[in-house]
Structure 1
Amino acid sequence: MVDEDPFSELYNAGWLLAHERQIAFGERIGDASWEMDVEKGILVFGGRLQTRAGVFATWARGDSSLLWGWANEGLPASARGPALALRDYGEKSGIRVLEQRKWQLDEEDAFGVCLAAAGMLDEIMSLYRAPHEGGFAYLAIVDENLRLGPPEAARIARVVLEGVAQGLIGPAIAVPKYLKARGFNVVRSDDAFVRASHRELPLIEINFDEQSPVTVQIGGRRFDPDSHEVDETDVGRSPAGAVVRLLLDNVPELARAPLEVVALSRDPGRCTLVAVASTIPSVDATDALAELEATGMATVCEYLPNEEVSLIPWGSDFLQRVVASFDGGVVNLVCDDESQEVVVVIEDESYDQVVGERLLAVAGLFPEWTFFAARASGFSPDAPDDVSRSSAAQATNRRLLRWERGA
């Protein structure tokens, strides 16, 4: 950890927000390889994800020095945009460490300082630590497509708990700043406690009294350093198998006869579809689901705010499964067993909603098939093959999280 002076102001101002950005970005790129065109400011991961980026700072192993990108005259001007924005911010805010061109820091502290600095700039979505022969280049990602989505309860808890545990921040200063940056209204704040509200989340209360372990409570859910929920990262973005466990914990009827969860598909932030089959031939899954208590599902929905969660009765007939998965709006289905393609014909008035909110998740329940959606007004039952694949909406698996029993 760096000394409290002069870097504490930097950490308190930006580290928590930057840490959340790093978590989200790490989920996107994994361990993909990287390459950068410095002149063009283009950073590519794994040959597939292309982003806009600039050189924020560099760290030299030889003399353990951190050099801000704005002071690196060896870089083209096109690569120094984020670093120049940082210098301007430092001048306006009076944060002296941003105006000094070079610092003697070990590698861990250098990255921490850069991370905290990046967290203060709205135009920086994440920071990538790119290794090279002489040390590291810290690359600032400035691609709007990678901006953080709405805050999610478990992710907020994880960020706060990890920030306090690492001892990099003063919680009484840093936590309210972070919550405000994520759209919360801080209604109470003192040296040991923060209470904040958000229009789309339950009330959040954070206790960081030095005499007891730090805790985060959001609605009726309590998070602490030993909470398995935080270890699962974020329920809102967690592996689909973790969401299945969430369902079984809160709706125990799904874990015993005659019901069984057999598959789950998520389009995070939009829709979660849970396929539920009957284990008893004489019991229809639709009838059994109708008898479920609503309380447990309401709790699950609190964990996945702004996301529709639907239980799909999973019978033996393929076409019935598809129709049930869409929950209305479907007027026709055309299936090609040879190419394993499904054209879903949707009422015109429901088309935008179905395609925007449900098509991708439905496709995840049928991973062997490719789904297309067509408007009813442009579909001819006499010539279904005339549906233009290029103009129809196609469900791709770009953001999908899937789970299958036994997988």
Structure 2
Amino acid sequence: MNQSLSPALRDVLIGLAHFDKSRDTEVRSALHGLEPADWGRLFELAGTHRVLANLSRIVADMADAPAPSKYLARLLLMMLKQHAAMRRWESQTTVAALRAEGINPVVLKGYVLGTECYPEFYLRETVDLDLLIERDLLDRAGAALESQGFTRSQFVPATGELESLSDARIEGYRNELQHLGEFTRLSETGAALTIDLHFRLSTVFDHQEPDTQLFLVNTVDYPDGGYRKLMPELFVAHLAYHAWWDTQALTNVRKGFDLRLFQYSDILLAFQTWGLKCEPVLEWARRANVFEATNWALWMTSELFGGLEGDGALDRELASQVDSRFTDRWLQRGTDTPIGQWDRPGPSRIFDMHRGAQATAMIVEWLDRHTKRGDVLTWVERN
């Protein structure tokens, strides 16, 4: 059974996801329409959709917000600003260190968006730094990061410590996933900075495979930021592909990480900042072999926020077809054959808090069909 959010909560989240300070009065008005019991749920959802910094900014200055929510907002705002300042400095120094070694990576996603597209850097919440580099520079880049104190490890929140990656996991990252096994370093404050060195932009399981070389050769330098980025149209195409990528896994759906507002906020703000139009973005996406994912993500953004410039160029029927298909790349080791079909479109499904149950049911039904037919899954365990 589908369980959608109340209209009041949806209005607040959509308002926050615009990241437009001129809409603050509108968001405050929507906040006034919440029931007392809605406030805790709102902060939880804002965290999932990565609009928590914007929510905290607005609520911290609301004279008539519930006292506990105002206190929480002020505490979160201080922490998020401090975290963002540290992350920005560490990212800058890491990129500068690589450039000093003759490696000029392409900076992807959050760091660029926070620097160029969001009203303030801290409003674009990030968890790592994604870098795209040429394949023949991988070993040099990894060595450069290790000389800066990074190790092949992951952060364990329960202990606050780093845990080394096994050789099997490192091999799996390189051979199957999008990047080298993660490079992580703890700061003096105990926070972790993780660097993902990408040498392709898809896993080996995805039927939509971006032309990584096309992305690599169509880049521009940010004049004052000391970094290289994808040209705007391809930058958005990559954002779009990644948004689609996140929808194709049960683990993401169950956590609510398959459809998150910030990913469409990224596209909206990139369009606004760089003066983009849908048709040129789609043309570049077709050349880069990510047309279906890009058309779908632009459609999602247009539906959620009330239109993108030139969205008449979108193939809405194709977008709906792409949107309805559910696959699980980790179970199927592919994304070309759907496990099942969603019962509602993405712009509505994003607010369906029980969509994980439907995804689980689709997986169970898929497994049941195979086992009754006599098919056998073979597992190879890794450390």
Same-fold call, TM cutoff 0.5: no
Higher strand share: 1
- Give the TM-score, by structure 2 length: 0.32
Higher helix share: 2
- Give the TM-score, by structure 1 length: 0.31
Q: Which has the higher contact order (CA 8 A, sep 6+)?
A: 2
